[in-house]
């Protein structure tokens, strides 16, 4: 069953492989970073988006040598170490090598820890556009002067309230450019998720919760809004297009909305960070 | 070995009477209607508050299912032994039946029979889940013309995910661990044979219940069943709840059985440091099975109470919180995905030494890797809910823990890759599937690095990017190794070889179409398509169509496998030698197929099964009985 | 070998059975589809006019549906019969005049914002009188097409009405409110419409059951 061991005495496979890996990685990593970098989502529609793109670029740069390592290893091994004769031959009885194990553990641990540290650093900047719950710990500088906008998720539409403009509610989201915005995302029924792709904002809309996300808008643009959490029948249709407009245009727009929706604004509940609508409805 | 044959077999109709699956189904259906009736007595035609119509009576549906399952189990004969013990009979081992295909249709205490039952049973339900996947991709070929109404589509999506997750958690432990763990450790049986059979039949009942959801209107929540949507859903939601509860019970008992067997029933000389890698993987998985499944059952029970008894565990208006559901579900849910991944690691590390003809490199490191993954999987669950409004201070911790879990995963890669180094690689079909694992899990794992990074996750959470990630790790990691296990172990289980050429065609078609299907999904997610949607922006249509066509090819490759399976085992019937792969592992020292009592004499183990390449031949354990070519 | 023929037959039978079962399975999923209703259009293509008459009822009744006590929309087809069909085909760039007869009582809005009509040509008329905004406890249903910006709250039959309609189809002799409005279809596409009033009694937040099923309180506008 087992037979004479055959060692591939001959070329120094290990050294060959390592050198090939280092060379290939040195070529591939900058190539990937340069070619793929600009294509990485979500673009630079907001300061958070730019931060995420940078984050992705770093991740891609770290991940490429790892990927090259494993793929090159596989290719090398499959090409060099195949049993070519069909005879039942054994390989050498190596059961381990402490040096390799320790090196591997040290390298992988160091990579992983630095990635975690880097991610935390990015997160600390401004929360990276993610929903942070009611006590958002990662607020960017200048957050005390942020514009509050509430996003209300309901089955199956988002509506938006501007507390600093009389609590007016609008069916479409318009934001001023170059402004720090504090989004309060909440839901009236099931769990939704407010995802503004180009602004790189995603915050779940949980009933009874005020989920805060920060976004620092840049220049005027439109952005896609999708619901990113399955919320029932029309989840796939719960999308919209939002706008970032110049600050004076925004001021004009909000005035116009206040006038247009004045009849219904008096029926709205006072602005609150969460709402508790009555869950039971009597039979119609 | 008993050579006495049964003289006269009773006629077929007579054989149907007794404790078996047929009786089980009859009593199960009867039990269902009994439960339905009791449910209506409890709550009348309609419950005032939360169920308006008689056909949406959740209490009836749930009680119907429970009584049905109990009827089913009684019909199978699971009540016989407990009833005997209650009447004072001493504990005893049930006789293993020695022959007849009717063994496979009832309670059989032979672990080998249970293994084969699992293989066929899980295969059947996976087929249904896979069919759903084909229908999903059919729908997604166009963003505007819809094949299915949107409500049906959501149920298709939910059923696909739920069926796959529920069935594949026992995908490797069920068939292969049940069959081979006793053989690998030198035992004649599992620690709890009746419970072993119970885990199988519970899973079958669960699968049948999930398919009946179509009759109750389906369920719209996806496999994660988030509240409050699951509270709002029709009666079809109850099918999901009962399915997963039964799966959870089955998983828990399976883990218990595996641990008890491996801990207590190892042959003399089989110390922990000589235990085959597959068994170590089973141990790591069984720990998670045992501890995580109860959390699932508990949270589903809470949802059932919310839906029937009008509690409000998860409804804000009653003082509850949907966060409770999310956290409890994912405390189960994350170990669950490692329950799916770890057996894959185990199979790869078990098979590589055989086909590289080298000892497993770094045995202790590999064990540390698997146990490390098992342990760490408890500490990472909130990475599924990074942007849901959890306390933001927690997120750096979970980012760190999720990144750290890739370290023990990396040990598996290192040990596997170094086993290949300077080996004498033989590219048999099982080996091809194991090599594909490296490629698939690499991509899956690296995409996990992106998802674990909170800023990156903000854009990719809930999109097709995370879909691609878990399909690469679960399908690329688990299903590929599942097939590796099938091609490797079928000669031992049945005594016949699977056709190698068809196997290679299956492998290559599956590998190429799998990557063609799921790699573009990373791009689709990056470009902004959320999960579980029935419509998407027009510019993504080409990619979606590419994915759909590749998925159809992937489905076709499964048909090639089924053809190979049926052809090789029913028609070609090429007799397998006792050890076609020249493996040193203990189960291959027995004849194919394995005799009922496994070993003539319990072997004494003197070394681990990776003694390839040694100057002296590996010490072969107790001689196999005559009849197999050793 | 005779065993082989037997096995072949067995396998063939198995494959045939599997094929039939799969066929039934897939057909079952497709069964929810129905032929969309296309109201008659007058005028030149590109500027057509369509009249749509709809009624909303509290319970569909045993003749019309598998779920007899679900609320629903019904549309009057071109031969004057009421059908439970919520997928309608409309021409693009057309003017659509809609009349809704509501036979259902008030349920109220969860979000009061949805009480102000939007996206219409002219005003919404309730029993002939124009509506600016409806107080939140009044709407019985809404007809809303979010992608087209259309929102129409529907006024209720009073709770103490003397002659309410029990089951569909409801004749105009029962107590009802008449809501009329006009909107413009724009570009081609498939737009979903829904009701925003939590009128599904018995489901959490009133949004289960008929509120989440196409054919009752949800539907599609195929603008072609």
CATH number at residue A189: 2.60.40.420
Is the pLDDT higher at B436 or at C61? B436
| Contact list, C25 vs chain B (CB under 8 Å) | 128, 131
Q: How many domains does chain A have?
A: 2
Strands C49-57 and C41-42: antiparallel
Q: Would the CB atoms of C204 and B232 count as touching at under 8 Å?
A: yes
Q: Reduced to 3 states, what is the DSSP secondary structure of residue B119?
A: helix
Query: Looking at the domain assignment, is residue A3 inside a domain?
Result: no
- Token digits of residue B502: 């068809």
Q: For the residues B397-411, what does the mean pLDDT come to? A: 94
Q: Would the CB atoms of C202 and B51 count as touching at under 8 Å?
A: yes
Query: Looking at the domain assignment, is residue A174 inside a domain?
Result: yes
pLDDT per position in chain C (224 positions), as tens? 567 888 889 899 999 999 999 998 888 888 777 788 888 888 887 778 888 888 888 888 777 767 777 888 888 888 888 888 899 999 988 999 999 999 888 888 888 899 899 999 889 999 889 999 999 888 889 999 999 999 999 998 888 888 888 787 888 888 888 999 999 998 888 999 999 888 776 677 778 788 888 888 899 999 98
Strand partners, A187: A153, A207
In chain A, whose CA is at the least distance from the CA of B357?
A: A90
Tell me, yes or no, whether A250 and A182 share the same domain.
yes
- Identify which of B350, B396, B355, B387 has the alpha carbon closest to the alpha carbon of residue B370: B350
Which among C111, C158, C201, C220 is the top mutation candidate for probing chain A, defined by the most A β-carbons within 10 Å of its own β-carbon? C111
Asked which of A214-228, B571-585, C47-61 is least confident by mean pLDDT, the reply is: C47-61
Q: Which CB contacts under 8 angstroms, 24+ apart, belong to B44-49?
A: B46/C202, B49/A280, B49/B310, B49/C202
Residue pointed to by tokens 């960070």: A273
- Per-chain mean pLDDT for chain A: 88
Q: Which domain holds residue A222?
A: 143-265
ipTM of the complex: 0.91
Q: Would the CB atoms of C29 and B228 count as touching at under 8 Å?
A: no
pLDDT value at A9 more than 80: no
Is residue A125 within 8 A of residue A140, CB to CB? The reply is yes
| Contact list, A67 vs chain B (CB under 8 Å) | 442-443, 446
- Identify which of C92, C82, C78, C95 has the alpha carbon closest to the alpha carbon of residue C38: C78
Q: B337-395 pLDDT, tens per residue?
A: 999 999 999 999 999 999 999 999 999 999 999 999 999 999 999 999 999 988 888 89
Phi and psi at residue C189, in whole multiples of 5°?
160, 180
Query: Looking at the domain assignment, is residue A163 inside a domain?
Result: yes
Tell me, yes or no, whether A184 and A107 share the same domain.
no
- Token digits of residue C181: 């409005």
DSSP tag of A272: -
Tell me, yes or no, whether A115 and A195 share the same domain.
no
Q: What is the pLDDT of residue B167?
A: 95
Q: B147-172 pLDDT, tens per residue?
A: 888 888 999 999 999 999 999 999 99
For residues B182 and B509, give the distance between their C-alpha atoms in angstroms, rounded to a whole number: 34
Tell which C residues from 182 to 211 touch A, by Cβ distance under 8 Å: 192, 194, 196-202, 204-207, 211
- Per-chain mean pLDDT for chain B: 90
Confidence at B630, pLDDT banded by 50, 70, 90: very low
Q: What is the pLDDT of residue A7?
A: 54
Compare CB distances from C205 to B51, B232, B234 and report the shortest one's residue: B232
In chain B, whose CA is at the least distance from the CA of A234?
A: B150
What domains sit in chain B, N to C, each tagged with a CATH number? 24-45+53-87 (no CATH), 106-589 (1.20.210.10)
Query: Looking at the domain assignment, is residue A226 inside a domain?
Result: yes
Tell me, yes or no, whether A260 and A157 share the same domain.
yes
Q: In the CATH scheme, what is the code of domain C35-223?
A: 2.60.40.420
Tell me, yes or no, whether A124 and A164 share the same domain.
no
pLDDT value at B99 more than 80: no
What are the boundaries of each domain within chain C?
35-223
- DSSP H stretches of helix in B309-428: 322-356, 363-376, 394-404, 406-420
Phi and psi at residue B340, in whole multiples of 5°?
-75, -35
Q: Reduced to 3 states, what is the DSSP secondary structure of residue B167?
A: helix
pLDDT value at B597 more than 70: yes
Beta strand extents in B462-549 (DSSP E only): none
Q: Would the CB atoms of B50 and C203 count as touching at under 8 Å?
A: yes
Tell me, yes or no, whether A125 and A184 share the same domain.
no
For C46, left (φ over 0), alpha (ψ -120 to 50), or beta? left
Q: For the residues B85-114, what does the mean pLDDT come to? A: 85
Query: Looking at the domain assignment, is residue A22 inside a domain?
Result: yes
Confirm or reject contact between C204 and chain B (CB < 8 A).
yes
Q: What is the pLDDT of residue C117?
A: 92
Q: What is the pLDDT of residue B614?
A: 67
- Token digits of residue A179: 């402004």
CA-angle at A143, arms to A138 and A149, nearest 5°: 100
For A178, left (φ over 0), alpha (ψ -120 to 50), or beta? left
Confidence at B417, pLDDT banded by 50, 70, 90: very high
Confidence at B49, pLDDT banded by 50, 70, 90: very low
Is residue C36 within 8 A of residue C88, CB to CB? The reply is yes
The secondary element (H helix, E strand) that includes residue C54 is strand C49-57
Query: Looking at the domain assignment, is residue A279 inside a domain?
Result: no
Q: B61-87 pLDDT, tens per residue?
A: 899 999 999 999 999 999 999 999 999
Is residue C75 within 8 A of residue C215, CB to CB? The reply is no
- Token digits of residue B183: 């053989």
pLDDT value at B7 more than 80: no
pLDDT value at B51 more than 80: no
Tell me, yes or no, whether A173 and A244 share the same domain.
yes
For residues B569 and B497, give the distance between their C-alpha atoms in angstroms, rounded to a whole number: 8
Q: For the stretch B398-426, what's the b/e string if a residue is b when 16 or more beta carbons lie within 10 angstroms of its beta carbon?
A: bbbbbbbbbbbbbbbbbbbbbbbbbbbbb
Q: Would the CB atoms of A189 and C118 count as touching at under 8 Å?
A: no
Q: Which residues contact A139 (CB under 8 A, 6 or more apart)?
A: A126, A127, A214
Confidence at A144, pLDDT banded by 50, 70, 90: confident
Q: B545-559 pLDDT, tens per residue?
A: 999 999 999 999 999
In chain C, whose CA is at the least distance from the CA of B307?
A: C204
Query: Looking at the domain assignment, is residue A134 inside a domain?
Result: no
Tell me, yes or no, whether A23 and A108 share the same domain.
yes
Q: For the stretch A198-221, what's the b/e string if a residue is b when 16 or more beta carbons lie within 10 angstroms of its beta carbon?
A: bbbbbbbbbbbbbbbbbbbbbebb
Tell me, yes or no, whether A253 and A156 share the same domain.
yes
Q: Give the 3-state secondary structure percentages of chain C, helix then strand then coil, rounded to 5.
A: 20, 30, 50
| Contact list, C140 vs chain A (CB under 8 Å) | 284
Query: Looking at the domain assignment, is residue A90 inside a domain?
Result: no
For residues A177 and A182, give the distance between their C-alpha atoms in angstroms, rounded to a whole number: 14
Q: Would the CB atoms of C192 and A268 count as touching at under 8 Å?
A: no
């Amino acid at each position: 069953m087992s037979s004479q061991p055959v060692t591939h005495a001959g070329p120094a496979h290990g050294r060959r492989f390592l050198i090939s890996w280092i060379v290939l990685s040195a070529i591939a990593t900058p190539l990937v970073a340069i070619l793929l970098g600009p294509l990485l989502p979500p673009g630079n529609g907001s300061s958070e988006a730019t931060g995420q793109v940078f984050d992705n670029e770093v991740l891609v740069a770290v991940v490429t040598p790892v990927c090259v390592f494993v793929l090159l290893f596989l290719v090398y091994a499959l090409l060099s170490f195949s049993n070519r004769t069909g005879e039942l031959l054994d390989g050498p009885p190596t059961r381990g090598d402490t040096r390799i194990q320790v090196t591997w553990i040290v390298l992988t641990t160091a990579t992983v820890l630095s990635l975690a540290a880097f991610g935390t650093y990015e997160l600390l900047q401004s929360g990276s556009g993610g929903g942070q719950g009611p006590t958002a710990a990662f607020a960017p500088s200048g957050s005390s002067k942020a514009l509050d906008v509430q996003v209300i998720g309901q089955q199956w539409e988002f509506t938006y309230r501007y507390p600093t403009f009389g609590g007016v509610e609008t069916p479409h989201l318009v934001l001023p450019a170059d402004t720090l915005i504090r989004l309060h995302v909440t839901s009236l029924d099931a769990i939704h998720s407010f995802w503004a792709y180009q602004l790189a904002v995603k915050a779940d809309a949980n009933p009874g919760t005020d989920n805060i996300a920060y976004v620092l808008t840049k220049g005027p643009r439109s952005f896609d809004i999708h619901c990113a959490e399955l919320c029932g029948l029309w989840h796939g249709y719960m999308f919209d297009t939002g706008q970032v407009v110049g600050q004076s245009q925004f001021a004009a727009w909000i005035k116009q909305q206040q006038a247009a929706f004045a009849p219904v604004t008096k029926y709205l509940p006072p602005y609150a960070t969460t709402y508790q609508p009555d869950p039971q409805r009597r039979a119609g | 070995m008993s050579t006495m044959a049964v003289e006269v077999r009773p006629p077929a109709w007579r054989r149907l009477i007794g404790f078996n699956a047929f009786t089980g189904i009859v009593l199960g259906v009867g039990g269902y209607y009994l439960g339905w009736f009791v449910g209506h007595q409890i709550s009348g035609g309609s419950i005032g508050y939360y169920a308006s119509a008689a056909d949406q009576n959740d209490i009836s549906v749930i009680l119907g299912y429970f009584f049905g399952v109990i009827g089913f189990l009684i019909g199978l004969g699971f009540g016989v032994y407990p009833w005997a013990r209650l009447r004072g009979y001493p504990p005893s081992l049930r006789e293993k039946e020695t022959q007849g295909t009717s063994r496979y249709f009832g309670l059989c205490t032979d672990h080998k029979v249970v293994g084969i039952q699992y293989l066929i049973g899980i295969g059947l339900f996976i087929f249904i889940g896979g069919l759903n996947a084909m229908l999903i991709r059919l729908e997604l070929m166009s963003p505007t013309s819809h094949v299915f109404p949107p409500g049906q589509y959501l149920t298709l999506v939910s059923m696909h995910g739920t069926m796959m997750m529920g069935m594949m958690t026992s995908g490797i432990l069920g068939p292969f661990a049940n069959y081979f763990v006793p053989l690998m450790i030198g035992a004649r049986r599992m620690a709890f044979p009746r419970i072993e059979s119970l885990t199988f039949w519970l899973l079958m009942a669960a699968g049948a219940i999930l398919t009946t959801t179509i009759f109750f209107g389906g369920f719209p929540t996806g496999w994660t069943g988030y509240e409050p949507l699951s509270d709002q859903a029709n009666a079809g939601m109850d099918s999901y709840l009962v399915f997963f509860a039964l799966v959870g019970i089955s998983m828990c008992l399976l883990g218990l059985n595996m641990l008890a067997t491996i801990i207590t029933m190892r042959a003399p000389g089989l110390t922990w440091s000589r235990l085959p890698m597959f068994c170590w993987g089973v141990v790591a998985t069984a720990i998670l099975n045992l501890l995580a499944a109860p959390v699932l059952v508990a949270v589903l029970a809470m949802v059932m109470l919310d839906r029937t008894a009008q509690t409000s565990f998860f409804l804000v208006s009653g003082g509850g919180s949907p966060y409770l559901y999310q956290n409890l579900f994912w405390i189960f849910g994350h170990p669950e995905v490692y329950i799916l991944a770890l057996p894959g690691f185990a199979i790869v590390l078990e098979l590589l030494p055989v086909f590289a003809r080298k000892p497993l490199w770094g045995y202790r490191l590999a064990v540390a890797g698997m146990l490390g993954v098992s342990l760490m999987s408890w500490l990472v669950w909130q990475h599924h809910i990074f942007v849901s409004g959890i306390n933001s201070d927690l997120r750096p911790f979970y980012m760190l823990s999720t990144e750290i879990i890739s370290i023990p995963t990396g040990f598996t890669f290192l040990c596997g890759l170094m086993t290949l180094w300077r080996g004498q690689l033989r590219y048999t079909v099982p080996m091809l599937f194991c090599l594909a694992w490296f490629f698939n899990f690499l991509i899956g794992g690296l995409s996990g690095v992106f998802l674990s990074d909170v800023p990156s996750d903000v854009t990719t959470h809930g999109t097709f990017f995370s879909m691609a990630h878990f399909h690469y790790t679960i399908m690329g990691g688990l299903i590929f190794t599942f097939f590796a296990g099938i091609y490797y172990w079928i000669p031992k289980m049945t005594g016949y070889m699977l056709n190698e050429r068809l196997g290679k065609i299956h492998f290559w078609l599956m590998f190429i179409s799998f990557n063609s299907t799921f790699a573009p999904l990373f791009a689709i997610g990056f470009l902004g398509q959320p999960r579980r949607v029935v419509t998407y922006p027009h510019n993504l249509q080409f990619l979606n169509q590419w994915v759909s066509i590749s998925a159809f090819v992937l489905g076709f490759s499964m048909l090639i496998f089924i053809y190979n399976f049926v052809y090789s085992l029913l028609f070609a019937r090429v007799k397998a030698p006792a050890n076609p792969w020249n493996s040193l592992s203990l189960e291959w020292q027995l004849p194919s197929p394995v005799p009922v009592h496994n070993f003539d004499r319990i072997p004494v183990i003197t070394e681990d099964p990776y003694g390839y390449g040694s100057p002296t031949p590996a010490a072969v354990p107790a001689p196999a009985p005559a009849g197999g070519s050793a | 070998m005779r065993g082989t023929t037997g096995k072949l037959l067995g396998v063939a039978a198995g494959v045939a059975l599997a094929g039939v079962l799969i066929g039934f399975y897939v057909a079952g999923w497709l069964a929810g589809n129905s032929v969309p209703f296309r109201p008659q259009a007058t005028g030149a293509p590109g500027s057509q006019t369509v009249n749509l008459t709809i009624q909303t009822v509290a319970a569909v009744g045993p003749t019309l549906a598998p779920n007899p006590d679900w609320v629903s929309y019904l549309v009057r087809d071109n031969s004057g019969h009421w059908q439970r069909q919520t997928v309608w085909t409309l021409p693009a760039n057309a003017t659509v005049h809609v009349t809704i007869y509501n036979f259902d009582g008030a349920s109220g809005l969860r979000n009061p914002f949805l009480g102000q009509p939007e996206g219409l040509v002219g005003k919404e008329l309730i029993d002939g009188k124009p509506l600016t905004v409806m107080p939140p406890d009044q709407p019985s249903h809404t007809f809303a097409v979010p992608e087209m910006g259309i929102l129409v709250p529907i006024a209720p039959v009073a709770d103490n009405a003397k002659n309410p309609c029990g089951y569909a189809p409801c004749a105009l002799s029962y107590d009802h409110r008449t809501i009329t409005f006009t909107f413009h279809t724009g570009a081609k596409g498939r737009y979903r419409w829904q009701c925003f009033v939590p009128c599904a009694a018995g489901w959490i937040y009133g949004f289960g059951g008929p509120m989440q099923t196409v054919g009752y309180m949800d539907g599609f506008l195929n603008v072609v």
